[in-house]
Amino acid sequence: MKGQRTNRVVVPVKTIVCVLSLLLCLVFPAVTVSAQAQDASGGQAALPTIHDAFAQIGQKVTGFGGMFIDEKKDTLYVFLVPSQPGDAVQIDRAITEVLGANRPPQHQLKVLEGQYTFLELMDWYAHLRPQVLPLAGVVMTGIDDSGNRLRVGIDTPAAAAAVESQLDALGIPRDAVKLVEVASARAEGSLTDRIRPLYAGLQIQGDKQGAVQCTLGVVAKLNGANGFVTASHCANNPFTANDTTLFSQPLRTYPDVTSIGNDSVNPALQPGITCTQGQLRNTCPNGWNCRCTDTLFAQLNNNNNASALGSIARPDAGTITWNGGNNPPPTYTITAKSVAFVPGTTVNQVGITSGNVSGTIDKVCEDWKFTDYNTPRYILCLNEATYTHGPGDSGAPVFVIPNPASTNVTFTGFHTGDVAYKNGNHFAAYSPIDQVQNELGTLTVCAGGSC
C-alpha cells in the first residue's frame, strides 16, 4: 500500500538566494575554484550545482517542477504543476533571468504536467538522502529531472521495503520516489599507442604489478606545475594521499622508457565532507568515507610532454583509431570549461576502449556507493550519461561540442566508471569539473592556457 501524499507545502529555499552570485561564478562557464577553500568543518568547500539554479527558478515560479532538453527535437521541456502558480510565459522569463547566457539554446519550450514542484522535491530529497543512502542495498540517490521524481537505486529486494519504510516515516509520498534496480557500480581499465607529446584520451598505466590500464583525462597545469588528471582509482593505492604511483604511457616497461610522471595530488577518502552548497548539501553519510570526485593530478617528469595543452585526441567516431600517424593525432581543442549543462545535453567521451563516443546527460549530481577495488566509498555528486564506455575508459575526458561544425569543445568532466541497473541498462558516471577543481585545485586545461 502506498503512503498518503503529504499536504503540499512549498518550503522557501533560504540558502539559495545567498549563493546566487557564487552560483554564477562556479556552476557556469567561468569556473575557477580553489582547492584551498574550506567549509566550516575544515574540509573542501561545497559547491552549488545546476539544481541550485533550478531552485532559484522555483522561487520565481512556484509551479516549476524541473526541466530537461531534447536536442534532436530542439525543445526545452519544463514541468509545471497545474495547481500551483505559474504559466509558460512566466517560466520562460524565469529561466532566462536565472540562467542568462547559459540558458539552453533550444528554440522551443514545451510545458509538461508535473505532480511535484522542484522545491518540494528538493525538500524531500534533503530529508530522504541522509536516511536512505546509508541503507544496506541502496546504491544511489538523486533527483530525476526528466521524470519529476526522486530516484533511489537498490541492488537487493529487501532494500525496497527498507526504503519505503523510511519514506513513510519521513512523510514523503511513495509515488514521488522511483525505485530502480541497480546491478553494480564499478570502475574501468584497457590500451592504445605510444604518443608524444601527451594528449587527453591516451592510454596510461601505473607502475604496480598488474596495475589497471586507464585513460589520460586531460593535460593540465596545477599551481604552476605541468601534469595531467586521471581517475583516482587508477593509482596503485586508490584514494590515498601521498600515493607515489609512477604513470607510464601507454604501458609500464622495463627498463623504464615510457614513464611520464608521478601522482602528486590525490586526496584521501574522508568522513563528514560536504561537496555541494544550496539546500541539497551532498554530505558524506555517517560511518562512510567519501570523495567529491574520482580524480587525481600527476606531475609530469618532462615538461615537453605538456606542449599539447588543451588538446584531446580525436579518433574517428565510434573507434579508437584515425587515418594517418600518431604524431600528432587529429584533435579537439578545449576552449572553455563548464558544468552548466542540463539533462538531455549531448556529451562526448574519448576513452581507450570505447573511442570517440557521444550520449546525453541523463541525471545530474547523484551520490553513488562503490564497493570495488576493496575500497568501499561514496563518490558524491556524480553525473550519469548514456555514452558508450568500457574497461579502460576510467579518467577519460568528457566534453560538449557547442558547434558540430567546429572541433572547439567545452570541457565538463572525467569519466569515473559504469553504473548498471538490473534491467540490463548501463550508464556512464563522470565527475564534474567544478567538483574536481574543488578537490584538486584550479586547473588550467584550455589551449593557450586561456582557462
- Answer whether residue 186 is part of any domain: no
Neighbours of 450 (CB within 10 A): 12
Domain match, 323 and 293 both: yes
The CA distances from residue 69 to 46, 105, 352, 360, in Å, are 27, 9, 29, 10
- Answer whether residue 188 is part of any domain: no
Domain match, 230 and 303 both: yes
- Answer whether residue 370 is part of any domain: yes
61-75, 240-254, 347-361, 434-448: least confident range: 240-254
Instruction: Name the residue among 375, 353, 381, 199 with its Cα closest to residue 284.
Output: 381
Q: What is the pLDDT of residue 41?
A: 42
Cα 202 to Cα 261: distance, rounded to the nearest angstrom: 14
CATH number, domain at 141? 3.30.300
Global pTM? 0.83
Cα 272 to Cα 43: distance, rounded to the nearest angstrom: 8
Cα 97 to Cα 134: distance, rounded to the nearest angstrom: 37
Domain match, 306 and 407 both: yes
* Max intra-chain CA distance, the chain: 71
- Answer whether residue 230 is part of any domain: yes
Domain match, 369 and 350 both: yes
Domain match, 109 and 139 both: no
40-58 confidence digits (pLDDT tens): 444 567 788 999 999 999 9
27-43 confidence digits (pLDDT tens): 333 333 333 334 444 45
Instruction: Name the residue among 343, 309, 312 with its Cα closest to residue 330.
Output: 312
3-state secondary structure of 423: coil
Euclidean distance between the first and the last CA atom of the chain, given in angstroms as a whole number: 54
Domain match, 58 and 146 both: no
Count the domains in the chain: 3
Cα 301 to Cα 303: distance, rounded to the nearest angstrom: 7
Q: For 262-281, what is the mean pLDDT? A: 90
- Answer whether residue 373 is part of any domain: yes
Domain match, 244 and 350 both: yes
313-349 burial string, b = 16+ CB within 10 Å, else e?
A: bbbeeeebeeeeeeeebebbebbbbbbbbbbbbbbbb
Cα 69 to Cα 75: distance, rounded to the nearest angstrom: 6
Of 82, 113, 144, which residue sits at a domain end? 113
- Answer whether residue 322 is part of any domain: yes
Domain match, 216 and 255 both: yes
- The parent domain of residue 100 ranges over 14-113
Domain match, 139 and 102 both: no
- Answer whether residue 8 is part of any domain: no
Q: What is the pLDDT of residue 1?
A: 36
Q: Which residue has the cell 567546429?
A: 406
